[in-house]
Amino acid sequence: MGCAPSIHVSQSGVIYCRDSDESNSPRQTTSVSQGPAAPLHGLFVQTDAADVIPRSRASGPPGAARVRRARTELGSGGSSGSSSAGSAAPATTTCRGRRRHCCSSAEAETQTSYTSVKQVSSAEVRIGPMRLTQDPIQVLLIFAKEDSQSDGFWWACDRAGYRCNIARTPESALECFLDKHHEIIVIDHRQTRNFDAEAVCRSIRATNPSEHTVILAVVSQASGDHEEASVLPLLHAGFNRRFMENSSIIACYNELIQIEHGEVRSQFKLRACNSVFTALDHCHEAIEITSDDHVIQIHKIHRDSGDNSQTESHSFRYKNRRKESIDVKSISSRGSDAPSLQNRRYPSMARIHSMTIEAPITKVINIINAAQENSPVTVAEALDRVLEILRTTELYSPQLGTKDEDPHTSDLVGGLMTDGLRRLSGNEYVFTKNVHQSHSHLAMPITINDVPPCIAQLLDNEESWEFNIFELEAVTHKRPLVYLGLKVFSRFGVCEFLHCSETTLRAWLQVIEANYHSSNAYHNSTHAADVLHATAFFLGKERVKGSLDQLDEVAALIAATVHDVDHPGRTNSFLCNAGSELAVLYNDTAVLESHHTALAFQLTVKDSKCNIFKNIDRNHYRTLRQAIIDMVLATEMTKHFEHVNKFVNSINKPLAAEMEGSDCECNPTGKNFPENQILIKRMMIKCADVANPCRPLDLCIEWAGRISEEYFAQTDEEKRQGLPVVMPVFDRNTCSIPKSQISFIDYFITDMFDAWDAFAHLPALMQHLADNYKHWKTLDDLKCKSLRLPSDS
């Protein structure tokens, strides 16, 4: 070879290395393919046999009139009128000294046209710094019979310097395409009596080589009294373009040239890039390809594991701060001592990139990045905004307006959904009572048969949503959890499931209730009993019952019982700001919820007299424990909108789609999938935890007063200790409780209970919610800060 070789890519995606001082004859090419061969310049090289132009067998010429018409049109560049379709052409016909070669069988015929070697020209295409040589285009004409239209495309290919084949049957067309991998296919779609053009197109599209092929449908001219047909059926069949019947050679020529410089050229560039990637894939170096501003576009690492080699290619954006970075660089050494470094070719950067783990959100971002490349400017800008949102950490939390617009909502959300300002003031918060009380100091537990008649009478109504928990609190002297727990756990067969005695269960309930703070206005054992009652009520709904198994039910009842044990009557934000021991222990993250679950299990397992888990096997215990922990952690408000949105997207929407047009009460598809069961249990305990606005009005008012008093006490203490005031609107001298309830319902309750009602069907609750909201709105309109209307006092 004389000068440096140039590189070009064939229509099948193979890189060719050609001597620049040699002829362009295909006989003098050396191919770089993916097959086994010796490496050359980091690529793989094998010498293929030249693409020999087959000799055609001489035969009689076509009709003289048709040849004269074609020659006249080619010479003048004008268009000619259509000629009548002749009979099927002979096996081989001659066109201006070229012959149509017949590769025929008894049932199929394929004709081939080759331009002379002088007329065949290869095009040079540039892709960035690469110069690629494109072979002459190959065209396949699929016409059952020779006519003026097939002749038009034939001579157009001849004029453009394309290699052309003609197939007469679908079978021969598919066989020829699989052999040649044509860039352009023209299919006669004008009549269906010979073959189904759309079926032929679909059969070609079903093959792998057709990925880079443009298929053109030749259709009949629409008559004047008929509306032009839609192209959608053609596109659905796999066609790329439609060509209205026109036998003019120049019209056919223009169509082919436009396809070459449009779709074919684009597909060629794609194949060239794939070929480069294939070469990189076989390279034994760690490679980075960067843009001009040193942003890594492609990172490729080759790792050897014993005798097996593995290649990884990662596409991502990484800012390389080294100013001397070049466009393409190899990380490993290329010095004279490179062989001695063969076993140490993986520096730190290579190892780090090889450890990259692609998370689902990363895949989403990569898909959007890819979609941006070929999108209009407006779409690309919109996708940029989407990427900005996806890269934030709060994907599910709505963005509030300014505090001046709605101070009640801002303060309420800020207090419940954040961990405060997290300032450690040195004033550590000390609990007001001695926690972790031992059950040994308690009175002997009662039996279910020893329940006083007044309590038993109240518990007869515990399955109703109208059940009054405050009446139970009064008659049990603030110990409603033990009595309600015994009744509910008995109804759901918890002792039988856990293989524990009723005595053990009673002892456990007493220990748990003793560790609730009766001094708290809201977060006490009455609240725990209320959440247990709501959870049991939800578990009785048909669709919920059909979605969960008994282990889920037992886990939900236990989680409801312990979900606020040892609550200090202060929010997570307060504990973080005060630098409490719990905040330090749990790293300011889900402080109280983590403490509730940890303490509950500590109290349970430390004494076998109250260990309700002591008789179940290890696997059941681990599954049950995980479910309890997951549900209690779900009550933490910072992830409120995440839980609600996941429930809507995974449960509500599939259910709505399944139930559309059906009156059946069947459960949603996939309801018993573990991931869906988890979402249902989370949503259930969340709704049970904040169901106060859905209770009867008297109960709703009482709960509103209690939670407000607890927040007032926190604000008072924050002011005394000089801590940041998390919820300034909860100042007992200025707060409007009706307004705070309206904000809470608008922001947290309405959407969540709409979603839960759509699944569990809770008409009574939703009616109470509407009535209570109306009550609070009326009070707010009257600028009344009390909890009841003046007429009710």
pLDDT of residue 657: 86
Give the residue with greater pLDDT, 744 vs 410: 744
- Find the helix packing angle between 750-760 and 763-781, rounded to 10°: 160
CA 198 to CA 177: how far, in whole Å?
A: 16
Highest mean pLDDT out of 21-35, 178-192, 367-381, 714-728: 714-728
- Find the helix packing angle between 502-514 and 550-562, rounded to 10°: 30
Active site residue 523: yes
pLDDT single digits (tens) 258-273? 998 888 888 877 877 7
pLDDT for residue 40 is more than 80: no
Residue 433's identity, in one-letter code, is K
pLDDT of residue 492: 96
Cα diameter, the chain: 118
Q: What is the residue whose two structure tokens read 């390809």?
A: 289
Chain mean pLDDT for the chain: 75
pLDDT of residue 405: 60
Confidence grade of residue 295 (pLDDT, cut at 50, 70, 90): low
Question: 16: which residues sit within 8 A by CB, 6+ positions away?
Answer: 7, 8, 9, 10, 29, 30, 31, 32, 133
Nearest to 203 by CA among 165, 175, 241, 231: 175
Section 522-528 average pLDDT: 97
Highest mean pLDDT out of 38-52, 244-258, 460-474: 460-474
Confidence grade of residue 336 (pLDDT, cut at 50, 70, 90): very low
CA 75 to CA 61: how far, in whole Å?
A: 20
pLDDT of residue 291: 64
pLDDT of residue 190: 87
pLDDT for residue 113 is more than 60: no
pLDDT of residue 410: 66
The number of CA neighbours under 13 Å toward the Cβ of 399 is 5
pLDDT for residue 104 is more than 70: no
CA 703 to CA 701: how far, in whole Å?
A: 6
pLDDT single digits (tens) 555-589? 999 999 999 999 999 999 999 999 999 999 999 99
> To the nearest whole percent, how much of the chain has pLDDT over 70?
64
Binding-site positions for AMP: 523-527, 564, 689, 741
Section 379-404 average pLDDT: 70
The number of CA neighbours under 13 Å toward the Cβ of 622 is 3
Spot the catalytic one: 353, 408, 523, 643: 523
Confidence grade of residue 89 (pLDDT, cut at 50, 70, 90): very low
Count how many residues are written for the chain.
793
pLDDT single digits (tens) 494-519? 999 999 999 999 999 999 999 999 99
pLDDT single digits (tens) 607-617? 999 999 999 99
Task: Report pTM.
Answer: 0.53
pLDDT for residue 373 is more than 70: yes
pLDDT of residue 1: 43
pLDDT of residue 401: 54
pLDDT single digits (tens) 349-362? 444 344 445 567 77
pLDDT single digits (tens) 733-773? 999 999 999 999 999 999 999 999 999 999 999 999 999 99
pLDDT single digits (tens) 219-260? 988 777 777 888 899 999 999 999 999 989 999 999 999 998
> To the nearest whole percent, how much of the chain has pLDDT over 90?
47
User: Interior CA angle at 506 toward 706 and 486, to 5°?
Assistant: 65
pLDDT for residue 665 is more than 60: no
Give the residue with greater pLDDT, 790 vs 784: 784
Nearest to 469 by CA among 536, 528, 523: 528
pLDDT of residue 56: 34
Binding-site positions: 523-527, 563-564, 689, 741
Tokens of 576: 């973080």
pLDDT of residue 682: 97
Q: Out of 177-191, 687-701, 764-778, pick the least confident.
A: 177-191
Which residue pairs, CB below 8 angstroms and at least 24 apart, start in 476-480? 478/518, 478/524, 478/525, 478/526, 479/513, 479/525, 480/525, 480/526, 480/529
CA 344 to CA 138: how far, in whole Å?
A: 48
Cα dist from 125 to 20, 31, 309, 587, 646, whole Å: 16, 18, 34, 60, 50
